[in-house]
Amino acid sequence: MIGNTSNQGAPSQRGVERPGSRKMPIAVLVSGRGSNLQALIDACALPDFPARIVLVLSNVADAGGLARAERAGIPTQVLEHRLFASRQAFDAEMQRRIDASGAALVCLAGFMRLLSPEFVAHYAGRLINIHPSLLPAFPGLRTHERAIAAGVRFAGCTVHFVVAEVDAGPIIVQAAVPVHGDDTPDTLGARVLDAERRIYPQAVRWFAEGRLTVEGKIVKIAAPPAAPGAAINPPTEVRPQR
């Protein structure tokens, strides 16, 4: 069923906008449990956060993310892709609904659908995604399993602008986490997810503050905070001699 569960009568989002608010309206697309969505909901509840969620849209009717949005009083919509004749038709309807919401930024948060070139082009420069690897390593699925099998010492996550090629757009922010010798995809995934919840709201904040510009493959951040020094895993036991 193509549903619209917009809950106009629900309590308003905690700490968020009123009509005329200067917070940037954003839409979040989800297919699953929605822990990244929750991080965005929590961030948007902060009085000084410069964005507000105006729509959570899912292609999966029982996605956990929808319940999280409803609890926060955010309008939700369900649009089941299998009821559309083509990817283009589904994406066009999704685009119509997102644009009707007034969203200025679209955040993919575990949205498990490939997007048509038309959809990606329509939102060029205002469509971002979070991916559970240190791109360009391990694009695609089963990232934690593949990172462990490759023997890498660090895994992580990436927030990036979306381009036509999957998991290939300009990188906004990344977090690295160590891979432990006894990690399973689940234990590594949990560590990465913790980092995801930190970097996605940060990327949205920078975008909404107008601090991001894209030059080719490179994202420039106006007045970025200083990065810490090298992370080494396993930690070194030898100190360089001067």
Applying CB under 6 A, does 32 fall inside the site for ligand GRF?
yes
Positions in 195-224 near ligand GRF (CB under 6 A): 196
The two three-digit tokens of residue 98, written as one number: 């997102």
Catalytic-residue membership of 131: yes
Helix, strand or coil, per DSSP, at residue 38:
helix
Whether 199 and 130 have beta carbons less than 8 Å apart is answered as yes
The distance of Cα 43 from the centroid of its chain, to the nearest Å, equals: 13
Whether 108 and 119 have beta carbons less than 8 Å apart is answered as no
**Between residues 17 and 167, which has the closer beta carbon with respect to ligand GRF?**
167
| Contact with ligand GRF (CB under 6 A) among 23, 52, 81, 131 | 131
In the bound complex, what is the minimum distance in angstroms from residue 35's beta carbon to ligand GRF? 3
- Tell me the backbone φ, ψ of residue 67, rounded to 5 degrees: -65, -40
| Contact with ligand GRF (CB under 6 A) among 50, 75, 132, 201 | 132
| Contact with ligand GRF (CB under 6 A) among 35, 77, 101, 116 | 35
- Marked catalytic residue, from 81, 122, 131, 144: 131
| Contact with ligand GRF (CB under 6 A) among 56, 130, 171, 175 | 130
The dihedral sign for the CA sequence 24, 25, 30, 32: positive
| Contact with ligand GRF (CB under 6 A) among 110, 169, 170, 201 | 110
In the bound complex, what is the minimum distance in angstroms from residue 132's beta carbon to ligand GRF? 4
Applying CB under 6 A, does 34 fall inside the site for ligand GRF?
yes
Applying CB under 6 A, does 152 fall inside the site for ligand GRF?
no
**Between residues 90 and 138, which has the closer beta carbon with respect to ligand GRF?**
138
SS (H, E, C) 146-192: HHHHHCCCEEEEEEEECCCCCCCCCEEEEEEEECCCCCCHHHHHHHH
**Between residues 56 and 157, which has the closer beta carbon with respect to ligand GRF?**
157
Please report the beta strands in the chain, taking only residues with DSSP state E, as ranges in sequence order. Answer: 24-30, 51-58, 76-78, 105-108, 127-131, 154-161, 171-178, 212-215, 218-221
Active site residues: 131
